Amino acid sequence: MCGIAGIVTANGAPPDGAALDRLSAALAHRGPDGNGRHVRGGTGLIQTRLAIIDLEGGRQPIFDGEGRAIVANGEIYNYRELRAEFPQDRFATESDCESPLHLYAAMGPAFATRLRGMYAIAIDDPVADQVVLARDPFGIKPLYLCEGPFGLAFASEAQALVAAGLVEARPDPRALAEHLQLQFSTGTETIFTGIRRLAPGETVIIRKGKVVETRDLAALPIDETEPGDLETLLYRLDDILMEAVDLHQRADVPYGLFLSGGIDSSALLAMMARLNPRPVLAFTAGFPGTRAHDERERARALAHHFGARHVEVAFDQADFWTLLPLVAAAMDEPVADYACLPTYKLAQAARAEVKVVLSGEGGDEIFAGYGRYRAALRPWLLARKMRNRGTFDGTDLFRVPLAGWRDGIKAAERDADQPGRTRLQMAQAVDCADWLPNDLLTKLDRCLMANGIEGRVPFLDPIMAAFAFRLPDGMKLKRGLGKWLLRQWLEHAAPPARPFDRKHGFTVPVGEWIAARPEIGDLVAAQPLIAEICRPDAVRHLFRHAGPKTGMACWTLLFTALWHQRHVLGHPVAGDAFAMLGRG
């Protein structure tokens, strides 16, 4: 796991060395174990390294015999199998990131079709005089682009392109409206005008500072249903889950698990316990003294059942006000998902003992765990559109209405409507297009990388995801419950998980904490961005009357104000949320 960045100039002149320095410095937190650089003609690549595999020899860039160079962020889980396909080649390292370079030499830009992992990759090819960028199909690892008179630049985080002076930190109004209503933005355009994401599964070819060719690799299949009765499918699931977890444990450093006590992380614990001779190290967050559902008791029982070493991490109101500026600073893409708070503190706790954690992201999307999926199976005229209501619907806060905030979701719905897909699969595909990469996986990436931790998501292994997505609807949803097949498996593999209990849903009591300190609303209302788009008196009134129905709106404005302080105004983190916002 690392940070990567680069510049490809339009005129072939060497890229600005100072800009490369600034890119490297802005990504240093992603790679505390070293950094590397490669310059050839008008191309410059940098990498900051978090050493996970081949700790001593896996430094990047890595070169082949013809001068091609690769920098990569991520893990290629099938790297050993890929290496075996090139017995005639001389490999310079034992790194998992070297195999894609040899694969590219053999296949060209189609190399990504053979990778099983999470990745954002840049390859400089002097033979074809081009640079190739590729991102994994689910968008687990990020990559951002900007263009200008200088040519094209890319980086693992959007903030690095701003810090390098290659683009201004100017919020895009449409993306800002999406962020406020959805807590994330959709598509490839980001919150920053002039910066776009490389789409999940996208490969681009760059020559002379311009994208000249684009290829797409789909995350989800469009073909026949997975055949088999319940017993057959349970055996298949067991085999696929075991292989996926086994591959995701490949590392030369200690690893652990984020254990929520829910279906997904419980399944991972059950399989990790089967595969590991030593006790699994599991981390669980809880919110003592609040009305939020506390998952620690169930997680504790599961850990005891499997002999895991269990670390419980309490997150309280003091943590909320203290850590929130750090979280907002880490989230250069302003994902206002309150789960980023415990994720960040879990990563702080985990980094003392491990460099890799497995996590259950993706399980709800591929096995159909959300309640909104049940609506997708209702008769068509009664089915609700997904995310039809925004956070601020029914409020009168904004000077100008938040227009067009659902346009990106509509586009994803159109793209998901493929022949042969059920309505349930279309709903899953919509989530996999935007919610998963642009909220859940962005949250995991930024919160963990800010703490020098690599996050791995076995449920998004391509073989696992294809199997789950192809399941008949009745193997996903039955008797009002999602993830039916996975629950059946877990009932036998981990009875203490109580997989057929009704799901509580994961909540963080941000509304309670804000209601206890309503004076923060005065500071939020006075922030430049909030005052520009909202009526300050309405904002102050909202915070003074914070409650269950308005807590999410208050949280979103508070997070947005802190994000704007750090990533647009450029203020460093200094003190808690009150201190940050009190600076104006």
Whole-number percent of the chain with pLDDT over 90: 89
Calculate the alpha carbon distances from 261 to 268, 270, 316, 357, 483 in Å. Answer: 10, 11, 19, 16, 15
Select which of 2, 97, 340, 447 is catalytic.
Answer: 2
R_g (Cα) of the chain, nearest Å? 23
Q: Which amino acid belongs to residue 66? A: E
Q: What is the mean pLDDT of the chain?
A: 95
Q: How confident is the model at residue 381 (pLDDT cuts 50, 70, 90)?
A: very low
Instruction: Give tens-digit pLDDT for 449-463.
Output: 999 999 999 999 999
Under the banding of pLDDT at 50, 70 and 90, the label for residue 496 is: confident
- Give Cβ neighbours of residue 548 (< 8 Å, ≥ 6 apart): 511
**Cα–Cα distance, 358 to 412 (Å, whole number):** 28
| C-beta of residue 309 within 8 angstroms of C-beta of residue 280 | yes
Q: Do residues 248 and 461 touch, judged by C-beta distance below 8 A?
A: yes
Residue showing tokens 């960040």: 344
Residue 374: the pLDDT is 87
Model confidence at 584, pLDDT cuts 50, 70, 90, reads: low
Res. 14: pLDDT tops 50: yes
Q: How far apart are CA 524 and CA 560, in angstroms?
A: 9
The conformational region for residue 570 under phi > 0 = left, psi -120 to 50 = alpha, else beta, is: left
Contact 166, 34 (CB under 8 A): no
What is the Cα–Cα distance from 33 to 389, expressed in whole angstroms? 44
Rounded Cα distance, 49 and 60, in Å: 8
**pLDDT greater than 60 at residue 384:** no
pLDDT over 70 percentage in the chain: 98
- pLDDT bin (cut points 50, 70, 90) of residue 288 is very high
pLDDT band at 375 (very low <50, low <70, confident <90, very high): confident
Q: At what angle do helices 551-567 and 173-182 cross, to 10 degrees?
A: 140
Q: Is the pTM of this model over 0.85?
A: yes
How far, CA to CA in Å, does 222 sit from each of 225, 422, 426, 535?
A: 9, 11, 11, 47
Q: What is the mean pLDDT of residues 370-377?
A: 86
Cα end-to-end span (Å), the chain? 36
Please tell me the distance from the alpha carbon of residue 428 to that of residue 63, in angstroms, as a whole number.
Answer: 40
Show the domains of the chain with their CATH numbers. 2-216 (3.60.20.10), 230-386+406-497 (3.40.50.620), 510-582 (no CATH)
Mind listing the pLDDT tens digit for each residue in 497-506?
Answer: 889 887 666 7
Residue 393 has pLDDT above 90, yes or no: yes
Q: What is the pLDDT of residues 109-145, one digit of tens each?
A: 999 999 999 999 999 999 999 999 999 999 999 999 9
2: annotated active-site residue:
yes
Question: How does residue 224 score in pLDDT terms, banded at 50, 70 and 90?
Answer: confident
Quickly count helices (H) and strands (E) in the chain: 24, 17
**DSSP code of residue 500:** T
In this prediction, residue 227 carries a pLDDT of 85
* pLDDT for the residue numbered 293: 80
